[in-house]
């Protein structure tokens, strides 16, 4: 006896003696709930609990066990006592009978029934139900320890429970029920559950390990396991689930192992057999039944005839297993727990591998699980592909439901299924079906989504394209969805799955056919089909989103590349067509949620395709750039955002990130698109984009597009009633004019004014010279870099030959005859006109070329017409354009004057407008005209004063001077002092208008002062000093100074 043994013995002796006192009394004298006994048991138990050795000798066990055994003989052992007894036995099992060959078989044989009896007195364990958790826990530990110890008894443990060993079997059954019951009852005690499961595990795996025996306990086990696994909610500890699955797998594999069962499959099952059995089990379909019946256990091959696991048994139980599996597998998959999934993977794989035939009815459930958890084992198990196909097909048929209820898991399984199938067969037709179903459901979704929402027009105005802040980073993470009827997550997943489909299709070289098929069959669901197709073909470059798929996809064939490129072009072309339709619709009905979304999808497709084509997309800009740039100016922020992403991608791939370069380099394509839109009468955003182009590329480029400007003029004639459109066009004209000015008049406008040959009439500045440079310029006229030749050089004949030619050309006159030939006709008919325009015609001295000058004239022409338009913003815009153009026209002064004559009256009408903002703009405009027309308007200006006094509402807010009292009808009765007159306050709008009016008058006075009547002059100045500081007026000229002095001092 080792020292530890003797030590333990010493420590335990007294305690055992104490217990013995109670244990050895007669049955009739045994008192239940004897506190002395309980104390003694407790003391013994806690002492034993302190021991950790596992090598205490059997003698020690015997010593302790003797009083316990006699205690067991007592008929009425209290619960508490039982607990201690069990616990003490557990300790003994642990301490003494644990090691190999320490636990005698006989003892085990005796002990095992005792234990089961002790724990659950009745075989149905009814008492156990009412026991405390503690009791159950102790019972469980005892059994657990028993199996653990038994497991170590290598010499007999595997034969301990055998069919032949009949007397022990009821106890075995009982013990399993106990464990299962405890398992069931310990919902809130995961620890116990784990111990229970471990006990079963040890029992099944290490002790029994015989399918035949286990087949008896199988149903009970399964139903308990299933009930645990199928508990609603996700509250069950995953460790328990894993353990449960482990035990269940163990059990099923042991019971249904193909090899040991000698299962065989009859290829031709007879129909009669089926009909025989069809009544037995209605829960499985005839198909499955048929499948099932062809599986037969070859009982002859079994070495020893076993009664239980027959073919009939197999048929009956396997479908039960199927039902159990069905009850919990889908639920477990949904938990998306990695550890659970891992166990599920083992579970399903193991069963599929070992029970392929015997549990073939369950194959589809098991495969489904593997699909759901995307198990890579699917590829190696060599499973039945037709079955997998069937599963996939079934999933496809449920796509509507999958999408509507956002069953992403299902969707992923579907994809995975296809992927696995793809390894061995052509899945194109399945993908086609899936895509069709998908488009159907998405379309349906979309329609319902639209129906639930009002059709709101998006009217947000946006006339500016912002090219700043367009950096890739801040745009990539767009939060908006392309399919508003879906959640972001679903959309993302659908898109990833479609990408996966696309990879498979392209591997099978059928991507292009599929894309074309989608477009062909998707009438009226254009953008949806586009979205699907785009996702399909976005594979090559974006594989990283599906990295696990890459394992299987390996692109070697260059044909695939071609096919996928072809598909991209098909997608692009489809985008183009759709855009054309949708743009038309937007043009007609404005942007609504539907068309906004359509545009987003189109832009997305362009972005995706262009990004995958990189540099190759350059040749496609011819058609697609406009769609993008146009959308940059969209009234929808969503569309703008998409367009910005697209523009940035294009710029990044093609122009080193510069959106400006993207536009400037492709101005020709943009203008072409604008031109064709205008030709179709589509005007929206056209002017905005033209403005951007003009701003970015300058006037020189604009000269190439004069035909487009001409088209805009034509449109102005058609749409003059639409003030918004006219306003936009005039905004464009302003930009064009400014660019023209920048091009031709930038630095030396002053000089050109001087070089004009008109008479300068400023009274005290005879030549308008105000700087030394100008004097030098005049003196240096011979070397004027802007000599006439520069403008007229081409028209000037250099020799007779050219003179003759030009004469012929010029003769081409007043009908629409064509150049050249018509001259001859002229000559033939009337000998030709002897006109010599080069001599008669005024010299072209403006730095602005004739063609551009004509554009300005046209703008003035249309301004003239549109000033009668009722729209106020339009009028103000037109006036500001006139103001801008007049100085430019003045570079060819003689040509300015007819225009002034033409528009004077309508401008004056605007000056008289009751809306002071219009008056203000008109006055500014007239002032500029006065400055540039000089004495040409003298008479008109003087008349203007009379008109103003007569009709101007604005002027009425001022005091008129008294001096003309006798002939002025607007004389006020009471006239305030000059101080009051000089310090008036006006509302801001009136004030601004008055300042403009006064500036205009002063400008006019400067021009006309020599011919102006003194009285009129005083009248005008009297008005002006009420608005403008008198000092600033008197500084303008001597005459004005005099007038101001007169007023201040004499009135």
- First-residue to last-residue Cα distance in the chain: 141
By CB under 8 A, tell whether 148 contacts other proteins. Answer: no
Residues 989, 994: Cα–Cα separation, whole Å = 9
Binding residue for other proteins (CB under 8 A) from 32, 707, 784, 950? 707
Angle at CA of residue 1036, ends 898 and 980, nearest 5°: 110
Contacts of 794 (CB under 8 A, 6+ apart): none
Size, binding site for other proteins by CB under 8 A: 64
Burial class for 703, CB neighbours closer than 10 Å (0-12, 13-18, 19+): middle
Q: By the 8 A CB rule, do 709 and 857 touch?
A: no
Q: How far is the CB of 361 from other proteins (least distance, A)?
A: 51
Q: How far is the CB of 798 from other proteins (least distance, A)?
A: 10
Q: How far is the CB of 739 from other proteins (least distance, A)?
A: 16
Residues 220, 124: Cα–Cα separation, whole Å = 13
By CB under 8 A, tell whether 717 contacts other proteins. Answer: yes
Binding residue for other proteins (CB under 8 A) from 425, 825, 935, 1042? 825
Please count the other Cβ atoms lying within 10 Å of the Cβ belonging to residue 550. 12
According to DSSP, residue 457 is labeled B
Residue 506's nearest CA partner among 549, 445, 463 is: 549
By CB under 8 A, tell whether 935 contacts other proteins. Answer: no
Q: Which is nearer to other proteins, 105 or 865 (CB)?
A: 865
By CB under 8 A, tell whether 789 contacts other proteins. Answer: no
Residues 295, 310: Cα–Cα separation, whole Å = 11
By CB under 8 A, tell whether 835 contacts other proteins. Answer: yes
Binding residue for other proteins (CB under 8 A) from 851, 967, 974, 979? 851
Binding residue for other proteins (CB under 8 A) from 202, 383, 857, 878? 857
The residues that bridge with 265 in the sheet, in sequence order, are 295
Q: By the 8 A CB rule, do 406 and 443 touch?
A: no
Q: Which is nearer to other proteins, 554 or 814 (CB)?
A: 814
Q: How far is the CB of 1007 from other proteins (least distance, A)?
A: 20
479: left (phi over 0), alpha (psi -120 to 50) or beta: alpha
Q: By the 8 A CB rule, do 651 and 662 touch?
A: yes
Q: Which residue do the tokens 């995958």 mark?
A: 612
Binding residue for other proteins (CB under 8 A) from 11, 55, 401, 710? 710
By CB under 8 A, tell whether 813 contacts other proteins. Answer: yes
Exposure string of 25-40, with b = 16+ CB inside 10 Å and e = fewer, is beeeebeeebeebbeb
Could you give the 3-state DSSP secondary structure of residue 295? strand
Binding residue for other proteins (CB under 8 A) from 562, 972, 989, 1013? 562
Q: Which is nearer to other proteins, 840 or 967 (CB)?
A: 840
Q: How far is the CB of 799 from other proteins (least distance, A)?
A: 10
| Joined tokens for residue 544 | 């990283």
Q: Which is nearer to other proteins, 431 or 678 (CB)?
A: 678
Stretch that binds other proteins, among 402-410, 412-420, 705-713, 744-752 (CB under 8 A): 705-713
Q: Which is nearer to other proteins, 730 or 945 (CB)?
A: 730
Residues 776, 773: Cα–Cα separation, whole Å = 5
By CB under 8 A, tell whether 1050 contacts other proteins. Answer: no
Q: How far is the CB of 862 from other proteins (least distance, A)?
A: 6
Q: By the 8 A CB rule, do 695 and 736 touch?
A: no
Q: Mutual orientation of helices 488-507 and 558-589 as an angle, nearest 10°?
A: 140
Residues 247, 221: Cα–Cα separation, whole Å = 9
Binding residue for other proteins (CB under 8 A) from 842, 943, 1014, 1031? 842
Site for other proteins in 861-880 (CB under 8 A): 861-862
Q: How far is the CB of 809 from other proteins (least distance, A)?
A: 9
Site for other proteins in 201-240 (CB under 8 A): none
Residue 206's nearest CA partner among 159, 167, 243, 240 is: 159
Q: How far is the CB of 489 from other proteins (least distance, A)?
A: 35
By CB under 8 A, tell whether 892 contacts other proteins. Answer: yes
Could you give the 3-state DSSP secondary structure of residue 180? helix
Could you give the 3-state DSSP secondary structure of residue 297? strand
Q: Which is nearer to other proteins, 173 or 698 (CB)?
A: 698
Residue 69's nearest CA partner among 48, 92, 51, 50 is: 92
What length is written for the chain?
1051
Site for other proteins in 610-649 (CB under 8 A): 613, 616-617, 619-620, 622
Q: Give the residue ranges of DSSP H helices in 915-955.
A: 916-933, 938-951
Stretch that binds other proteins, among 17-25, 213-221, 376-384, 889-897 (CB under 8 A): 889-897
By CB under 8 A, tell whether 478 contacts other proteins. Answer: no
Q: Which is nearer to other proteins, 126 or 573 (CB)?
A: 573
Binding residue for other proteins (CB under 8 A) from 498, 716, 725, 1040? 716
Stretch that binds other proteins, among 262-270, 298-306, 689-697, 823-831 (CB under 8 A): 823-831
By CB under 8 A, tell whether 817 contacts other proteins. Answer: yes
Q: Which is nearer to other proteins, 75 or 828 (CB)?
A: 828
Site for other proteins in 658-687 (CB under 8 A): 668-669, 671-672, 675-676, 679
Q: Which residue do the tokens 């019951």 mark?
A: 181
Residues 634, 625: Cα–Cα separation, whole Å = 14
Q: How far is the CB of 612 from other proteins (least distance, A)?
A: 12
Q: By the 8 A CB rule, do 565 and 512 touch?
A: no
Binding residue for other proteins (CB under 8 A) from 805, 943, 950, 1031? 805
Binding residue for other proteins (CB under 8 A) from 26, 29, 520, 816? 816
State the residues that interact with other proteins by CB under 8 A.
562, 565-566, 569, 613, 616-617, 619-620, 622, 668-669, 671-672, 675-676, 679, 703-707, 710, 713-714, 716-717, 794, 801-802, 804-805, 810, 812-814, 816-822, 824-825, 828, 835, 837, 840-842, 850-851, 853-854, 857-858, 861-862, 892, 894-895, 897-898
């Amino acid at each position: 006896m080792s020292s530890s043994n003797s030590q333990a013995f010493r420590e335990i002796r007294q305690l055992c003696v104490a217990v013995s006192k109670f244990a050895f009394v007669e049955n009739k004298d045994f008192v239940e709930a004897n506190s002395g006994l309980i104390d003694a048991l407790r003391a013994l138990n806690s002492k034993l609990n302190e021991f950790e050795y596992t090598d205490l000798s059997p003698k020690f066990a015997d010593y302790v066990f003797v009083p316990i055994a006699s205690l067991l003989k007592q008929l009425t052992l209290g619960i508490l006592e039982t607990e201690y007894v069990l616990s003490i036995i557990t300790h003994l099992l642990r301490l003494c009978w644990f090691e190999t060959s320490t636990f005698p078989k006989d003892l085990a044989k005796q002990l095992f029934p005792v234990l089961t009896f002790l724990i659950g007195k009745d075989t149905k364990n009814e008492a156990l139900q009412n026991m405390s958790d503690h009791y159950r826990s102790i019972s469980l530990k005892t059994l657990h320890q028993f199996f653990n110890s038994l497991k170590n008894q290598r010499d007999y443990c595997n034969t301990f429970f055998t069919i032949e060993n009949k007397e022990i079997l009821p106890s075995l059954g009982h013990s399993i029920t106990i464990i299962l019951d405890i398992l069931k009852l310990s919902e809130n005690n995961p620890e116990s559950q784990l111990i229970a499961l471990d006990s079963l595990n040890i029992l099944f795996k290490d002790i029994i390990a015989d399918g035949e025996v286990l087949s008896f306990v199988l149903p009970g086990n399964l139903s308990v396991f299933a009930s645990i696994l199928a508990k609603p909610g996700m509250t069950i500890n995953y460790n328990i689930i894993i353990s449960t699955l482990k035990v269940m797998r163990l059990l099923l594999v042991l019971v249904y192992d193909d090899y040991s069962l000698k299962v065989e499959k009859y290829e031709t099952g007879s129909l009669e057999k089926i009909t025989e059995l069809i009544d037995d089990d209605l829960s499985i379909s005839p198909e499955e039944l048929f499948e099932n019946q062809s599986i037969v256990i070859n009982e002859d091959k079994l070495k020893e005839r076993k009664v239980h696991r027959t073919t009939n048994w197999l048929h009956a139980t396997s479908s039960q297993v199927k039902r159990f599996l069905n009850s919990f597998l889908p639920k477990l998959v949904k938990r998306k727990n990695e550890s659970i999934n891992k166990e599920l993977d083992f579970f399903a794989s193991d069963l599929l591998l070992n029970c392929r035939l015997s549990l073939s009815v369950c194959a589809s459930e098991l495969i489904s699980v593997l699909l759901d958890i995307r198990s890579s084992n699917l590829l190696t198990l060599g499973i039945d592909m037709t079955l997998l196909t069937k599963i996939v097909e079934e999933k496809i048929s449920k796509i509507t439901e999958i999408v509507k209820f956002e069953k992403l898991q299902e969707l992923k399984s579907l994809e995975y299924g296809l992927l696995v199938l793809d390894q061995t067969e052509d899945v194109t037709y399945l993908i086609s079906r899936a895509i069709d179903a998908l488009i159907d459901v998405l379309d349906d979704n979309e329609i319902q989504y639209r129906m639930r929402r009002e059709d709101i027009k998006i009217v947000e105005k946006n006339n500016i394209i912002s090219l700043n802040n367009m950096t890739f980073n801040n745009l990539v993470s767009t939060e908006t969805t392309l399919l508003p009827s879906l959640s972001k997550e679903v959309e993302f997943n659908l898109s990833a799955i479609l990408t996966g489909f696309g990879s498979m299709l392209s591997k099978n070289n059928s991507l292009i056919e599929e894309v074309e098929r989608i477009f062909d069959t998707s009438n009226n669901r254009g953008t949806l089909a586009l979205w699907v197709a785009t996702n399909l073909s976005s594979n090559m470059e974006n594989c990283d989103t599906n990295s696990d798929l890459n394992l299987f996809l390996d692109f070697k064939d260059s044909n695939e590349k071609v096919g996928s490129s072809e598909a991209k072009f098909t997608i692009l072309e489809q985008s183009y067509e759709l855009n054309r339709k949708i743009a038309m619709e937007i043009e007609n009905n404005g942007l609504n949620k539907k068309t906004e979304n359509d545009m987003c999808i189109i832009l997305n497709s362009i972005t995706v395709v262009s990004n995958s084509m990189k540099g190759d997309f350059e040749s496609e800009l011819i058609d697609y750039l406009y769609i993008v740039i146009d959308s940059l100016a969209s009234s929808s922020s969503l569309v703008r955002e998409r367009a910005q992403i697209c523009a940035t991608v294009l710029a990044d791939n093609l122009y080193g990130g510069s959106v400006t370069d993207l536009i400037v380099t492709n101005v020709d394509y943009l203008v072409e698109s604008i031109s064709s839109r205008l030709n179709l009468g589509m005007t929206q955003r056209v002017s905005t984009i033209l403005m951007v182009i003009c701003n970015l590329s300058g006037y020189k480029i604009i000269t190439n597009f004069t035909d487009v400007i001409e088209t805009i003029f034509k449109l102005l004639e058609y749409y003059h009633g639409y003030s918004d459109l006219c306003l936009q066009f005039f905004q464009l004209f302003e930009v064009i004019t400014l660019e023209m000015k920048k091009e031709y008049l930038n630095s030396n406008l002053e000089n050109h004014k001087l070089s004009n040959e008109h008479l300068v009439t400023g009274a005290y500045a005879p030549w308008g010279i105000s700087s030394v440079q100008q004097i030098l310029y005049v003196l240096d006229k011979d070397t004027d870099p802007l000599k006439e030749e520069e403008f007229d050089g081409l028209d000037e004949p250099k020799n007779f030959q050219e003179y003759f030619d030009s004469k012929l050309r010029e003769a081409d006159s007043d009908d629409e005859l064509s150049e050249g030939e018509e001259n001859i006709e002229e000559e033939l008919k009337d000998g030709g006109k002897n006109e010599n325009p080069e001599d008669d015609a005024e010299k072209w001295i403006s730095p602005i070329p004739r063609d551009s000058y004509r554009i300005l004239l046209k703008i003035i022409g249309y301004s003239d017409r549109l000033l009668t338009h009722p729209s106020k913003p339009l009028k103000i815009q037109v006036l500001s354009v006139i103001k801008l153009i007049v100085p430019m026209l003045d570079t060819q002064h003689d040509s300015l004057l007819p225009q002034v004559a033409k528009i004077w009256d309508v401008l004056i009408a605007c000056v008289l407008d009751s809306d002071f903002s219009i008056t203000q703009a008109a006055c500014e405009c007239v002032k500029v005209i006065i400055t540039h027309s000089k004495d040409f308007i003298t008479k008109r200006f003087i008349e203007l004063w009379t008109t103003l006094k007569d009709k101007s509402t604005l002027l009425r807010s001022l005091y008129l001077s008294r001096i003309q009292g006798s002939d002025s009808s607007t004389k006020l009765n009471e006239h305030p002092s000059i101080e009051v007159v000089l310090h008036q306050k006006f509302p801001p709008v009136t004030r601004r208008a008055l300042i403009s009016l006064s500036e205009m008058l002063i400008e006019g006075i400067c021009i006309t002062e020599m011919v102006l009547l003194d009285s009129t002059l005083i009248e005008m100045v009297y008005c002006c000093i009420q608005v403008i500081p008198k000092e600033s007026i008197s500084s303008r000229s001597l005459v004005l100074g005099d007038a101001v002095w007169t007023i201040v001092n004499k009135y």
